[in-house]
Structure 1
């Protein structure tokens, strides 16, 4: 009998004994091609010797130091590396332990931004149907997957959902792909006018939708219009790149393909390739300075954030 509370109580999954490159091996000797990299995580393969060496080297130095009292060279180096890869207006990284934490951080940071600049009436998010942003309550609240939300609906904060950019399902026979993209992008403006722009914190979206509409990209010009609407009505653009970021689209950030820059972006998964839990929330100077020049304290934090990082050559992992 297993005492682990597994994801499904009616099924005991195979026990993995080891891994080698792209394969997982169970206790019966069966090999599994890890074609999905778990949940789009293991992009460096399993048991890479140089990564394991880096982990051991860090363990021999120090495994943990609480960020309420200390910083560390590896976490500082990781933040610097991420900022080097980011657009020039993004200069600050908040390091956490996974994708849901990164999105919770993004949502709370966005809310505190408006508190710090004297607009506490902003308490509403707009997101998209058929989206997924994590399983913690805040992240689940801005997700558009009805099945995942249903059992916890009474606990979730109110979020307005607009259409995804899903031309295969929704493009009209009388409109071009560009016209379709502009039409669904303009749903954001309509929702803002309905809710009142000065009550809205921000808009949340995945540049490439993953868990609820596999590898779904937006039509050309869609995100440019979204960015313009956010600017026009002065709301924050929050992008979830937990699954699609860290190089999965050929560039480090998926939003680079759209020629836009978000105010806040969350990354995880491929950031450490499954060798240790990690996520990061990256923010623009505008967001950071609201707190730095205000209270000075982001009312947030986790026990294991920015701790236990290790350096692997020129790549910084956790």
Structure 2
């Protein structure tokens, strides 16, 4: 067989990996902030995967809780039975909202949670004493990311992720501008005027599509993969919720990536002065110890459903899975008992300080933004004009891949489409909530070395 006809590396695996031309190294262990690879590499997991591993790896309390649950009961179908651990998790989480969100629905992934939230929003309007069946639409933002399943992808506004599937996506979602101060605010514009302009845009979109046709507006409190940890300016979310209330639509906050402590409070909306009607949660909910996500549901929706049919016409085989609920409950208890929200705030401030000190003057760093232990760095070709790099340069890909090399052994979550869904590059950092100052030093120093070498190699 000639060299040109040899199978690509990925063909030696029976797994359909994310890229069939690439066979990833195998992870064989993990402890704390580190993952151990088959070749002996000690890999610093500075992103927690995709902002998932909030307790790091090998947390003994969580792994023991999972083992204990397996010994009791691994699975039962929610159509037949409930379980004590699911009830305890639901009580813990609804209590954390002051019972403003009074029910929990547990599934396995973020995309599933968004699908459930969309369906619940639609059904709510059918359950009202005077049903509103004409409400079939959603309003979201560009760019945004809410999941990969068809419904979640339809409400998302990430151009590249949507592109191959546009012909089969639902066309009942429209998109408005994000709250993206670095690029969205006009020169000299105050936060108040910027918020007013964005609220007016949402109001105009309600009017354009028909105010009584919209089920809900959905947004991320801190935009994750699509924009790179962009928080809203003060007053934005109260203004957007006010527009929703004006037209009787629901207000959905997608906290799958930014919630469950990632931004320094258990729920990101606690810092925004609003309470959503529906909240999606995931990632930090179970810290990656088991697949788990869910939706927290406002009491007015719960009461409406209860007085109506009382049946949410949506269900999944692994809904409320006992092992997933045990993992989530143990993770949340660890966050509370180990005072990790305080550590997120303290170490988050230190991470910001280190990033600004070492990268703030970098010629190709346009913006550093985030909250808690959720930080993004956006790269630009020209700091004055904010011109992004050409997508053909694949800058964020090169940064991510360079970090994976043995000389760095550092996870850097690189993403594209920052500016308009196609152009723009950023990197996300999301270390575990129990990170130390010394490990943050290693992360930022390693990140700096990666950038120095990547830009040298690209000859920019």
Normalising to structure 1: TM-score of the pair?
Answer: 0.97
* 1:209-220 superposed matches below 5 A: 209-220=223-234
Structure with the higher fraction of residues in helix conformation: 2
Matched, 1:3 2:14: yes
Residue deviations 1:249-304 (CA, integer Å, cap 9, x gap): 11111111111111000000001100000011011111112221111111101111
Matched, 1:142 2:155: yes
Count matched residues.
Answer: 317
* 1:284-299 superposed matches below 5 A: 284-299=298-313
Matched, 1:27 2:8: no
Residue deviations 1:149-168 (CA, integer Å, cap 9, x gap): 01111111121100001111
Structure 2 Cα separation of the partners of residues 187 and 5 of structure 1: 42
SS in 1 for 2:36: strand
The structural deviation recorded for 1:89 is: 2.3
The residue aligned with 2:185 is: 171
Q: Is residue 238–residue 262 contact of structure 1 (8 Å, CA) maintained in 2?
A: yes
The residue aligned with 1:243 is: 257
Structure 2 Cα separation of the partners of residues 88 and 183 of structure 1: 33
Q: Is residue 22–residue 34 contact of structure 1 (8 Å, CA) maintained in 2?
A: yes
Matched, 1:182 2:196: yes
The structural deviation recorded for 1:115 is: 1.4
Structure 2 Cα separation of the partners of residues 314 and 33 of structure 1: 23
The residue aligned with 2:176 is: 162
The structural deviation recorded for 1:87 is: 3.8
Greater Rg by CA: 2
Structure 1 Cα separation of the partners of residues 284 and 219 of structure 2: 19
Structure 2 Cα separation of the partners of residues 219 and 78 of structure 1: 32
Structure 2 Cα separation of the partners of residues 65 and 259 of structure 1: 39
The residue aligned with 2:93 is: 82
Q: Is residue 87–residue 261 contact of structure 1 (8 Å, CA) maintained in 2?
A: no
Q: Structure 2: where are the runs of 5+ without partners?
A: 1-11, 336-460
The structural deviation recorded for 1:90 is: 1.1
Q: Is residue 81–residue 316 contact of structure 1 (8 Å, CA) maintained in 2?
A: no
The residue aligned with 1:63 is: 74
The structural deviation recorded for 1:313 is: 8.8
* 1:87-102 superposed matches below 5 A: 87-102=98-113
The residue aligned with 2:406 is: none
| C-alpha RMSD of matched pairs (Å) | 1.4
Q: Structure 1: where are the runs of 5+ without partners?
A: none
Structure 2 Cα separation of the partners of residues 144 and 51 of structure 1: 35
The residue aligned with 2:47 is: 36
SS in 2 for 1:25: strand
Matched, 1:280 2:294: yes
Residue deviations 1:165-222 (CA, integer Å, cap 9, x gap): 1111121124212211221122110000111111111101000000111110111111
Q: Which has the higher contact order (CA 8 A, sep 6+)?
A: 1
* 1:45-56 superposed matches below 5 A: 45-56=56-67
* 1:190-269 superposed matches below 5 A: 190-269=204-283
The residue aligned with 1:125 is: 138
Normalising to structure 2: TM-score of the pair?
Answer: 0.67
The structural deviation recorded for 1:32 is: 0.8
